[in-house]
Structure 1
Amino acid sequence: MMQSVLVGLIMALVKWLDWGFLNIMPRPIWIGPLVGLVLGDLTQGIIIGAAIEAVFMGTFTIGGSVPSDITAAAVFGTAFGILTGKGVTTGVALSVPVGLLAVLLFNVVCLIFNFVVDFEDRAIANHNEKQFNLAHFFAMFFYPAVYFVMTVIVLQLGVGPVESFMSNLPEQVNQMLNVMAQLLPALGMGILISSMWDKEILPFFFIGFVLAAYLGMNTMGIAVLGGAIAIYFILTDFKKTKELNELKKQRMVVGATNSSNLNDEMEDFLS
């Protein structure tokens, strides 16, 4: 019970931060280690969180469009992966459907908030600051509270059935889940690349592929090399921008000087 409550608090905290303070928090790369820490297996939390992050790397919430609840996917994927003892396979396999189902709860909460907004509008029209503040703080704490209760209930009632279900699966199905757990991160990476693809980054894509496939460089080495190249281009662009701005200033000074000389010549001619 205590573990379910702690995981529920993590869910509520991340949802609360995501609602208006820190939008970078609802990412599996952060949530996984937190869940793993409270469940007593930080290593698995980091591994499962990183795997789920790769799946949802190209998924972002834009406005009111929520393709998948990444927070719920990360929390439940990591929790079930650790509590059932199945690790990354179960975590990644459950994260996708859980993320899609959790969107339904988000839509229900937003529907309730429509009534809260209507109540706030009436409070403003009646110049009732007390009622407005009451509705505002209700919405602020109601949102994470819903996810806290949902998380505790799901973990209390769902771990046993999920563990039994996963243990009774045929070996062929388990192998399929293992393959899917390896393919989904590649799919997430593909979605991310498709959203930012440009012909200018094509050479770097193939350079990274060659470094990994033929030269055997690990992910950390490629990441450090890529970061160094990115910093080089940032500094180069900054230098070019600075030189361009200085050139514009020089042209403005020259233009102003020429205009002043022309005015002096016109005055001399007219006089």
Structure 2
Amino acid sequence: MEIYQAFLVALVACFGKFTGDIGYFMFDRPIVLVPLTGLMLGDLQQGLLLGAELELVFLGIVSIGGATPADVNMGSVLASAFAISMGAGTDVALALAFPIGVLLQMVKMLIYFFRATTMHKVEEYAEKAEFDKITFMHFGHCAIYVSVYGIIAFCSLVFGADAIRSIVEAIPQVVMDGLQATSNMLPAVGFALLLNMLWDKKLAILLLFGFVLSSYLQLPVLAVSIIALTIGLIMIAQDRSSSKTAVQTTGEINEEEDFFNA
């Protein structure tokens, strides 16, 4: 991998961490960052394929409360960068994404620990109404956070590519075959984790409807997505109409009560 390519991938890593730190815009997900990584490495098609596969695998992995799962987003960026540079597929990316994600999650905790040690300064600035300094500290911490990840990504790609290649080549073929089979199965696990949080008996019929469209009518994913979007917009319009009707009815009842109470 060329140095300029490693630098561009590091910028992708910085972009993902920056957007994730200032607000949850979903730009730090594998489906966004991995195609950008592929674009920087001159293989957008492989980046799109790996991004879609890794997004499906990690679809249900989110940070909830004090639970801090592996940093699969950054793990996906570095893993896909290594896989694309080696001409490998999803099995290699999957094999690298989890351990890299765990290591980067440890780095994240160290950075958060450093940020926590400076929070007393925020309280002092708040008591003095020096809000500009609070803003400076917030974005300063964000800059440190983003820079550390960018440096880690750059150094890993420049100095660790040969080591990763040696490790991957040393993995027995039977293990790689197992990883390939796992990569084909894990998207179902990702969907299951997501459905476990979103499952609603009222929406179960729509899941069955989508299954029929995809499996029996052989409609492409884009067509099924457009149909799902149409149904969603119709349901939103119906909910808003019902809410307006309920508000109007409540208002009429209140007017009648006020008339008779008067």
Q: In structure 2, how many angstroms separate the alpha carbons of the residues matched to 1:236 and 1:129?
A: 44
CA-to-aligned-CA distance 1:141-179 (integer Å, 9 cap, x gap) = 211111111111111222222223333433322221211
Q: 1:237 aligns with which of 236, 239, 247?
A: 239
User: Comparing 105-114 with 168-177, which one deviates more in the overlay?
Assistant: 168-177
Q: In structure 2, how many angstroms separate the alpha carbons of the residues matched to 1:116 and 1:199?
A: 47
**TM-aligned CA deviation for residue 121 of structure 1:** 4.7
Counterpart residue number, 1:269: none
Instruction: State the AA in 1 paired with 2:176.
Output: N
Q: In structure 2, how many angstroms separate the alpha carbons of the residues matched to 1:189 and 1:146?
A: 32
**TM-aligned CA deviation for residue 66 of structure 1:** 2.2
Q: Is the 8 A contact 1:32 1:74 kept in 2?
A: yes
Counterpart residue number, 1:164: 166
Q: Is the 8 A contact 2:30 2:54 kept in 1?
A: yes
Q: Is the 8 A contact 1:81 1:90 kept in 2?
A: yes
Counterpart residue number, 1:44: 46
**Number of residue pairs matched?**
260
1:82-97 correspondence to structure 2 within 5 Å = 82-97=84-99
Counterpart residue number, 2:152: 150
CA-to-aligned-CA distance 1:76-128 (integer Å, 9 cap, x gap) = 12212211110222223322232222111111111111222245556677999
1:28 matches 2:3: no
Instruction: Give the match's secondary structure for 2:70.
Output: coil
Q: 1:258 aligns with which of 248, 257, 260?
A: 260
- Unmatched 5+ stretches in structure 2: none
Max radius of gyration: which structure? Answer: 1
Counterpart residue number, 2:10: 8
TM norm structure 2: 0.88
1:222 matches 2:214: no
- Unmatched 5+ stretches in structure 1: 261-271
Instruction: State the AA in 1 paired with 2:52.
Output: A
Q: Is the 8 A contact 2:94 2:179 kept in 1?
A: no
Instruction: State the AA in 2 paired with 1:80.
Output: F
Instruction: Give the match's secondary structure for 2:228.
Output: helix
TM norm structure 1: 0.85
Q: Is the 8 A contact 1:124 1:132 kept in 2?
A: yes
Q: In structure 2, how many angstroms separate the alpha carbons of the residues matched to 1:253 and 1:135?
A: 53
1:80 matches 2:77: no
Counterpart residue number, 1:173: 175
Give me the identity figure in percent: 27
Q: Is the 8 A contact 1:48 1:87 kept in 2?
A: yes
**TM-aligned CA deviation for residue 64 of structure 1:** 4.9
**TM-aligned CA deviation for residue 27 of structure 1:** 0.9
Counterpart residue number, 1:264: none
Instruction: Give the match's secondary structure for 2:160.
Output: helix
Q: Is the 8 A contact 1:58 1:192 kept in 2?
A: yes
Q: CA RMSD in A?
A: 2.5
Instruction: Give the match's secondary structure for 1:60.
Output: coil
Q: In structure 2, how many angstroms separate the alpha carbons of the residues matched to 1:110 and 1:2?
A: 30
